[in-house]
Amino acid sequence: MEAITIAEARNHVGLPVTLKGWLYNRRSSGKISFLQVRDGTGVLQAVVSAGDHPDLFEVANRIPRESSIVVRGTLIADERAPSGCELQLTELEPIQEPTQDFPIELKEQTPGFLMDHRHLWIRTGNQVPILRVRDCVFRAFRSFFHERGFIATEAPILTGTSVEGTTTLFAIDYFGSPAYLSQSGQLYLEATAMALGKVYWIGPAFRAEKSKTRKHVTEFWIAEAEMAFVEHAGNLQLQEDLVRSIVTATIAERSPELAQLGRDVDRLRDEVAEPFPRVDYADAVTLLQDAGHNTVFGDDFGAPEEAAISEHYGRPVFIERFPVAMKPFYMKRDPRDRSRVLAADLIAPEGYGEIIGGSQRVDTEEELLSQLRESNLPIEPYEWYIDLRRYGSVPHSGFGMGLARVIQWICDVPHIREVIPFPRTLNRLYP
The CATH number given to whatever domain includes residue 67 is 2.40.50.140
What's the pLDDT score for residue 168?
86
Whether 92 and 141 map to the same domain: the answer is no
Whether 73 and 34 map to the same domain: the answer is yes
Whether 270 and 406 map to the same domain: the answer is yes
pLDDT tens figures, 70-110: 999 999 999 888 888 999 999 999 999 999 999 999 888 99
Whether 83 and 194 map to the same domain: the answer is no
Final residue before a domain boundary, out of 33, 64, 96:
96
Whether 180 and 80 map to the same domain: the answer is no
Whether 45 and 172 map to the same domain: the answer is no
**Could you say which residues of the chain have pLDDT below 50?**
none
Evaluate whether residue 206 is within a structural domain. Answer: yes
Evaluate whether residue 85 is within a structural domain. Answer: yes
Evaluate whether residue 331 is within a structural domain. Answer: yes
Whether 197 and 297 map to the same domain: the answer is yes
Largest CA distance in the chain: 86
Q: How many domains does the chain divide into?
A: 2
Final residue before a domain boundary, out of 96, 129, 157:
96
72 φψ region: left (φ > 0), alpha (ψ -120 to 50), beta (else): beta
Evaluate whether residue 210 is within a structural domain. Answer: yes
Whether 124 and 74 map to the same domain: the answer is no
The CATH number given to whatever domain includes residue 294 is 3.30.930.10
Evaluate whether residue 431 is within a structural domain. Answer: no
What's the pLDDT score for residue 100?
96
* Domain of residue 305, residue span: 120-419
What's the pLDDT score for residue 96?
98
Evaluate whether residue 166 is within a structural domain. Answer: yes
Whether 368 and 411 map to the same domain: the answer is yes
Final residue before a domain boundary, out of 96, 129, 149:
96
What's the pLDDT score for residue 167?
76
**HSE (side-chain half, CA atoms, 13 Å) at 10:** 10
Whether 281 and 394 map to the same domain: the answer is yes
What's the pLDDT score for residue 146?
98
pLDDT tens figures, 14-52: 999 999 999 999 999 889 999 999 999 999 999 999 999
What's the pLDDT score for residue 359?
98
Whether 301 and 213 map to the same domain: the answer is yes
What's the pLDDT score for residue 69?
98
Whether 148 and 259 map to the same domain: the answer is yes
